[in-house]
Amino acid sequence: MPPLSDLPLIPLPVEISNSEGYLYVNPAKSFANEGADAGAMAYLKSKKVPALPLTTSMDTNLQLMDGAYLLQIAPEGVNISAKDQAGLLNGAITLEQVVAFSPNTERGLFLSAGTITDQPRYTYRGYMLDVARTFFGVDTVKQVIDRISTYKINHLHLHLSDDQGWRIEIKSWPGLAQIGGMFEVDGTRGGYYTQEDYKEIVRYAAVQGITIVPEIDMPGHTNAALNAYAELNLDGKARDPYVGTDVGFSTLDANKEVTYEFIDAVVGEIAAITPGPYFHIGGDESAVTPHDDYVKLIRRAQKIVISHGKKSIGWDEVALAGLDEGSVAQLWASAEYALKAKEGGNQVLFSPATRTYLDMQYDSLSPLGLHWAAYIEVDSAYLWDPKTMVDGITDADILGIEAPLWGETIRSIEDIDYLTFPRLLALAEVAWTPQPQRNYEDFLRRLRAQQDWLKEKGIGTYDTRVLK
């Protein structure tokens, strides 16, 4: 029976100490779990973890950081301690993996005794799904949530609008979804979420500890909106639908007041049904927007977001406009812009395309994905340290890590799985585990077991060459 410290947990906890003995769980026995945290129990139930003798304790006076936890396994049972709800949930997520990789026979489940002391390196650990270029329905989004939560991903960024499609109902501007949502890449039929659909995604994600981050891209990547409403265009003429993959050709008119009425309505309706603190305004690849117009629109858009009680996130170009207090720049291409955001007192969300873009091919033989940024194998996704990537930016300046999956080449959950796994596991460990604790060879040992577990659950995963 392997000691607790030998289990192939990803992301690797900060500290695992082994104890004598083990916990035996009789499958014929039921446990009341009276007083156990409802959120932790709901998570374990959603993952079909067998019933365990589990207790939890939340004490705001514990000397633990936000999201940290203690997981103690003894012959008498399991206890999770934390100072906040996020910590209890993180402990439950680790327990899910402990159970999955422990001996489970006809006689019952055997958990090695020990203590896991753990905390996140970064507060924000994200995954982005591009539903604008290729639309995925509520059930598929739920499947994605099921998969990513197991690796302590706690934010799901939904890219809800782009040139190819508008994917969420806006009741005061109904044509955005009804007209702008008709198509997707390659001209196939698109779709959109009603606000009730979106609320269901938010609810489902919350059970698994995930905050939804909605994105409405502006001033570029807006052809679907420009197709639906002529008045948003510079010349007052509606654009034709666009189903290709080029970028940088569309823009809102920064000098029309109707543009800001549109932004306010869209942000207001989505913010009202988004409990999380963030609203993403895009801001990237606005090649045809004059600089002064770009600055004007991004500045006003940030203030609109703030007026609706949210914090603004934008792709790194938004730093050119200057960021309001609390706004975040998402580094994808420009270290210069990220440094500019930091110098203005703002945090940076790291999504460097050469390391984190899950839509990049693994190698030249990969049937899905692109390679304009890089070929990204598992070693490329794992072997980097965010705090050394940009001179002048330290861990304190980094909000977290996000792994985007853009939608040009994906059409199904199988495609999503192929490009996501196993690279997301590498990025989850970058985002969670302290740099001194990370070891690539040990990660590969654990990754082999995780790959097998994913396959046992029917989740497709690329057979990475680094394990061969």
DSSP single-letter state for residue 75: T
Query: What is the band of 18 on the pLDDT scale with cuts at 50, 70, 90?
Result: very high
Contacts of 120 (CB under 8 A, 6+ apart): 65, 67, 68, 90, 152, 431, 432
Tell me the two tokens of residue 84. 């906040």
Q: Which amino acid is at 118?
A: D
pLDDT at 78: 97
pLDDT of 23 higher than 90: yes
Q: Tell me how many degrees the CA angle 115-118-123 measures, rounded to the nearest 5.
A: 165
Q: How large is the angle between the packed helices 413-420 and 423-432, nearest 10 degrees?
A: 60
The pTM assigned to this predicted structure is 0.98
- The CATH number of the structural domain formed by 124-439 is 3.20.20.80
Residue 424 CA to its chain's centroid (Å): 10
Instruction: Give rounded-to-5 percent helix, strand, coil for the chain.
Output: 35, 20, 45
**Locus of tokens 């040992």:** 445
pLDDT at 34: 87
Query: What is the band of 1 on the pLDDT scale with cuts at 50, 70, 90?
Result: confident
Which DSSP string corresponds to 297-318?
Answer: HHHHHHHHHHHTT-EEEEEGGG
Tell me the two tokens of residue 127. 């995954």
**What is the third-level CATH fold of 4-118?**
Chitobiase; domain 2 (3.30.379)
| β partners of residue 212 | 156
Distance, in Å, from the CA atom of 185 to the CA atom of 243, rounded to the nearest integer, reads 5
pLDDT in tens, 152-208: 999 999 999 999 999 999 999 999 999 999 999 999 999 999 999 999 999 999 999
Distance, in Å, from the CA atom of 246 to the CA atom of 227, rounded to the nearest integer, reads 16
pLDDT at 468: 82
Query: What is the band of 46 on the pLDDT scale with cuts at 50, 70, 90?
Result: very high
DSSP single-letter state for residue 389: T
Mean pLDDT, to the nearest integer, of 138-145? Answer: 98
pLDDT in tens, 354-407: 999 999 999 999 999 999 999 999 999 999 999 999 999 999 999 999 999 999
All structural domains of the chain with their residue ranges: 4-118, 124-439
* Cβ neighbours, 10 Å, residue 111: 24
| Number of DSSP helices (H) and strands (E) in the chain, helices first | 14, 14
pLDDT at 206: 98
Check the CA dihedral 79-85-87-91 and report its sign: positive
Judge whether 441 counts as a catalytic residue.
no
Torsion of CA 151, 122, 132, 168, to 10 degrees: 100
Q: Which of 184, 285, 402, 429 is catalytic?
A: 285
Distance, in Å, from the CA atom of 200 to the CA atom of 163, rounded to the nearest integer, reads 26
Distance, in Å, from the CA atom of 410 to the CA atom of 71, rounded to the nearest integer, reads 38
Q: Are 96 and 109 in contact (CB under 8 A)?
A: no
pLDDT in tens, 61-87: 888 999 999 999 999 999 999 999 999
Q: Are 23 and 74 in contact (CB under 8 A)?
A: yes
| For residue 219, cis peptide bond before it (omega within 30 degrees of 0) | yes
**Locus of tokens 């156990």:** 36
